[in-house]
Structure 1
Amino acid sequence: MKSSSFLAVLGLCVGAAVARPATDLLFQNNLNYTDDANHNSFLLLDQRSTQALAAQACRDGFSETLVSTPQAKSSMSDLVSLLTYYGTPSVWLADGILEVRDGKLKFGPAKKGSSLPALCTQSTKASLSFQPVNQSATTTVRNSATKNTFTGYRNLKSFRFLGIPYSNSPGRWEYSSLNPSRNQAYNATAFGPSCFQTGSSKYSEDCLFLNVFTSHLPADGARTTRQLKPTLVWIHGGAFTGGSGADNTFDGANMVSRGDVVQVTINYRLSTLGFLALPGTNITGNYGLADQITALEWVKHNIEYFGGDPSRVTIYGQSAGAGSVRALLASPPARSLFSAAIAGSNLGGYDYGTTYSKYYTIEQEYQAAGMAVVNASGCDGQADVVACLRAVPPSTLVNQSTVARFVVVDGKYIVADQLDVRDRSKTANVPTLWGVMAEDGAPFLPYVTAGETRPQALQSVLPSPYQQAATANTSLFPIPSSTTNSSLNLFNLTAQVGTDVIFRCVDQATVYSALNHGVFPNAWFYQFERSYQTPGFDVNAPTCDAPKTKERPNGDTRLPYLRCHSGDLYYEFGTLGESRLPYRDALDLDFTRLIMDYWSSFVRSHDPNPSADYLEKRGYVQTIDLIRKSGQWRPVGKSKQGSVRLLDVPPRQSTYQRQQQCEVEGLPVDLYEAGK
């Protein structure tokens, strides 16, 4: 029997269709989107062959050519870093051989009998998701088990497969299951519709789609663990009532090209369509959470064909997405589907945040939301309430004044009223990364009113049992004096306390107990001291924006401003360019590089500290310099002092933040310990 490599060469010789070899899209991403036009990307085909066959593989597989010597010389610095990192010291060019020796490119003539990988051009120059792309730059991935194919496209930085249906398209208030299709050809060049929520009429109930961003494609249809990349699955936030995996804030091109991972973004059902639960019926809630689990099952069965490693999956969510991560850590059907977790700005504690970390029973959810939904839909007193609700237009349900948005104890997906951080048999035992914004809670609070006093301000954010102690303690709860605006200073106080009781205290207590009971093998914690607020969520503006001055019209980050909820997202995904926003100063760019290098390192190794070898081979000199100056990000540890990375330029290490305040507020670091 002839070997597969011989058959591939034979196919080339006789002009037959050639299976795509393993391919890497190479782009030296410095995260400066204004500089993208000055850099080229390349396709590295990991199949050794003659120069003629290499040229044919570029042409037949991608409608590209072998890179010429002048083209390579125009990208010398980038190619040194890229070929060094990918361990490919010699490649075919159109007019010879390119070698990397002693950190320099060497050009030479073709040598008879040489068998080398191909370095192909990559002619698509679009680097941002809204820019038009070359319609011929399509690529098809084939799942050899299901025989399904997915045709996506590439831009300057990544291969992109959009709008992939991951489920069986369940009916309203039916649980999703894995897409059972076989022998289907999917056009994955455009996002699928987002799930119904308030706003646009473009939403759909048939919305369970995901998107894959990758820089590596295995050989066509191959099942292999070689060169597979760690995979990041992003779960969007939005109060369980809004959001989409198609939001370009979370575009994966920068993460995969700079961080050497695969990124997946998902849709899941929202609002009443995703979270309604009615006692005594078969509507038992958590449909949106179950959708997330179905998406993870799709990743398990399919991601290897897109270059991702199904055994190294990190789930990552922010806000309600972090609430989802917390729930998935507790969910029995989910625990085997991921190997690490990131929860950014997870809510808990008091007031609005409570239900993100402590779950209602179905009866409690009915009292909080379900009854109002039934009444507002005109279904109260109907012989068949469920049938009545199924007939209500989806836009009506999601636009009611009260909607269902709560994770509930349904007995299958969620079996207890909160994450168990003291029993490792009931929670996923995976490395975790947690953190908050310095004033995460500010957008969730009303701005202070004229004449409002300090006691009144504290009463507005604290439950009554803790108001007196906080009001009396002016040393722990002073009014900041960072600005000349007394109202803003008072709001700064409520923002700090609101951040404590909705975000910080519960998350620190979660990590403390989980580590001390061996639930998490390791954990890291952060607090953002620098932020860039997303325009779509800028409540109480401009308190969360760096003040604009004549000298710095885009915002002066040296002046006081609140570091608010969602102000971390542009840094984590490197997507300021997607919103056409400027870097306010040089530190914004350095900070973006540092944060993405931390986050992608956690996905690759389950440790946010990127290895020195990785940074050096990639040529990430700015991050090397910042880490050299600031030292390693230390894990939290088991002590009550903990360890927290304060993220700024440069970053610095500290302990759990505002522990004494959390104690006075009734949310101490040992909140989850026995007797508390």
Structure 2
Amino acid sequence: MTTHRVLTALGCALTAVLATAWSGPLPPTRPATEVVTPNGVVRGTAHDGYRTFEGIPYAAPPVGRLRWAPPRRTTPWSGVRDATEPASACPQPAGEVPGGSTDEDCLHLNVTTPDGAAPARPRPVIVWLHGGGLTTGAGSSYDAHRMATRGDVVVVTVDYRLGALGFLAHGGLPGSGTFGLADQQAALRWVRAEIGAFGGDAHNVTLAGESAGGYSVCAQLASPGATGLFDRAIIESGPCTGSPDRPFAPSSVPLSTARATGSDFAAKVGCGSAHDVLACLRRVPVSRLLAAQDTDQQPAHSTPLLPGDPATAIAVGRFHRVPVLIGSNHDEGNGWAAGIVQAGYPVTPDTWPDIAATFFPAPGGAQAVVREYPVHDTDGGPVFGAAIGDADFACPTARTDVLLTAHVPTWRYEFADEHAPPLTPGTPPFPLGAPHASELPYLFDLGGRPRDLTAAQHRLADTMVDNWTRFARTADPNSPSSPHWPRHTVLSLAPDHVVPTRTAQARHHCAFWNTRR
């Protein structure tokens, strides 16, 4: 018996003895909505079958001198901390977060846990990293109660620094280009230390995310600082093998490139020629920083947190050896293509060569793309969308799957509900099918509001939740309640049509794109 087990057994025996010997009145019990953590007591909210604890700090507020500093430990509190409402999202422009946010005191997380008596064994934990180009998004946007109750797991959603506040790089600044990734590691350390108080198993943690959140999982797979912080990984539409010359899929850049971008940013906000550039930057109002930053952010590699490009680390097998569930959506690129068409750039046989040259700029790339994806009429938007999705998501995901499978158990899916409920209002210029992020309403109630799903789509949602949570529990997504998912195939996820397939790479022109990496 290990020392840990001996101490645990002794502790249980001592507890039993003390309980038997106690002859006075029992001490008052805390309500089920109050949980004692190492930092203090938190009071959450009881719902029908589950409890939520929102806005729990996992690191000190990164304000003042801590703006652009690695995350520091949070200060314990006295009394009972209210955890019934989400905290402010990290600074970002208006969009997913109505009105945006300028509150830098944002390093918080939210816990959703099934209700009822304490389980015989601690529950698996899923830590969710939101998407949004590392520039927008919030953990509180993801209502995880269906995943928690149906899968009997504890779900943690995390806010981490975004935009320039999360990824600025500058000479002499420790942590350059990776502050947001460091925040994610701080949240994982909090989970290891404190999730047991919420019924979670600190030794069975799955790190999961979508889009920029999925790419963040890739980065953590390659980061020495994440060693021992998670036991499985789920990557949704965030392939690890993207590259900076692709305009849609997330990726990282060398520190030298990130520092050049940081110098330009400092100049834009009036600090480029300051005697102390960093001191000047720390005085700039958040609203001005947001106005000056790029739309999407890229972490910096060649740094202590991210010594190499995650794409290279995965390719050479230098990553944390944990089982991985990875996938993408059938029509990833259609949302971007539709937005570009609606912005006044129709895709026709005449315009397609110029559009291809803009978005696929490699030498000779445009002509090859036009030949591979011919446009024959004035409605070429879906062709453009297919090229984006294949180049930046489907084929890099397939390559990542192959590279991972050489070292760890890997399962790959493709979400393919062509009638998935839309995530944004308005009528697109062409049917979007299963575009980027369309799988999310099947796992979460986004913004706390369930999307309208048909009976068949509800069954698909249940299947996906079963697969995801079974993977978190056992490292194998197969369960008695869902169709069999064999290794070395792609599970196509569509209403009443959950089947393994081996044709995904051909359907997405991967032989073509693999020659253009």
Which TM-score band (shorter chain)? 0.7 to 0.9
> What is the RMSD of the two structures over their aligned residues, measured on CA atoms?
2.9
Say whether the 8 Å CA contact 2:90–2:101 is kept in structure 1. Answer: no
Mapped pair 1:592 → 2:464: no
Structural mapping, 1:339-358, within 5 Å: 339-347=231-239, 348-349=242-243, 350-353=245-248, 356-357=250-251
- Mapped partners of 1:457, 1:666: distance in 2: 21
CA change 1:601–1:532 in 2 (3 A) is: farther
Does residue 293 of structure 1 match 2:163?
Answer: no
Cα distance, 1:210 vs structure 2 = 0.5
Summarize the Cα distance change of 1:572–1:306 in structure 2 as closer, same or farther, 3 Å threshold. Answer: same
What secondary structure, in the 3-state scheme, does the structure 2 residue paired with 1:635 have? coil
> 8 Å contact 1:233–1:314 — kept in the other structure?
yes
Structure 2 residue aligned with 1:236, among 104, 126, 130?
A: 130
Q: 1:607 aligns to what?
A: 476
**2:487 maps to what in 1?**
635
Give SS of 1:214's match: strand
- Which residue in 2 is equivalent to 1:491? 381
Q: Is the 8 A contact 1:218 1:305 kept in 2?
A: no
Instruction: Give the residue type in structure 1 aligned to 2:499.
Output: R
**Do the aligned partners of 1:232 and 1:261 also contact (CA within 8 Å) in 2?**
yes
1:582 aligns with 2:479: no
Which letter maps to 1:635?
A: R
Bigger shift: residues 177-186 or 371-380: 177-186
Matched residue of 2:463: which SS? helix
Greater relative contact order, per chain length (Cα 8 Å cut-off, separation 6+):
2
Is the 1:531–1:567 Cα contact (8 Å) retained in structure 2? no
**Correspondences of 1:374-393 after superposition (within 5 Å):** 374-393=266-285
**Partners of 1:242 and 1:216 in 2: how far apart?**
31
CA distance in 1, matches of 2:359, 2:20: 71
Give the CA deviation at 1:541. 2.1
- How far did 1:651 drift? 1.1
Alignment of 1:654 with 2:511, yes or no, is: no
2:490 to 605, 629, 644: 644
Correspondent of 1:396 among 281, 288, 299 = 288
Identify unmatched segments of 5+ residues in structure 1.
Answer: 20-60, 63-137, 220-224, 481-485, 545-560, 616-622, 637-642, 672-676
In the other structure, the counterpart of 1:139 is 33
TM-score normalized with structure 2 length: 0.86
Displacement after TM superposition at 1:161 (Å): 1.0
Give the 5 Å matches for 1:364-513.
364-367=257-260, 369-400=261-292, 402=294, 405-419=297-311, 420-424=313-317, 426-445=318-337, 446-447=340-341, 449=346, 451-453=348-350, 455-456=353-354, 458-463=356-361, 464-473=363-372, 477=373, 486-488=377-379, 490-513=380-403
Letter in 2 for 1:318: E
Give the structure 1 partner of residue 513 of structure 2. 665
Rounded Cα–Cα distance in structure 2 between residues aligned with 1:594 and 1:450 = 37
Indicate yes or no: 2:267 matched with 1:363: no
CA distance in 1, matches of 2:469, 2:378: 40
Q: Structure 1 vs Structure 2: percent identity of aligned residues?
A: 29
Structure number with larger C-alpha Rg: 1
AA aligned to 2:259 is Y
Q: TM-score, structure 1 length as denominator?
A: 0.66
* Structure 2 unaligned blocks of 5 or more: 1-10
Would you say the 8 A contact 2:440–2:446 is kept in 1?
A: no
The Cα offsets for residues 66-103 of structure 1, whole Å up to 9 and x where unpaired, read as: xxxxxxxxxxxxxxxxxxxxxxxxxxxxxxxxxxxxxx
Match among 5, 29, 47 for residue 155 of structure 1: 47
Residues 364 and 202 (structure 1 numbering): CA distance in 2 closer, same or farther, change over 3 Å? Answer: closer
Contact 1:178 1:297 in 2 (8 A): no
Q: Does 1:314 align with 2:314?
A: no
3-state SS of the aligned residue for 1:579? coil
Cα distance change on mapping 1:427 and 1:218 into 2, 3 Å: farther
Query: Structure 1: which amino acid aligns with 2:386?
Result: Q
- Note if contact 1:331-1:415 (Cα within 8 Å) is conserved in structure 2: yes
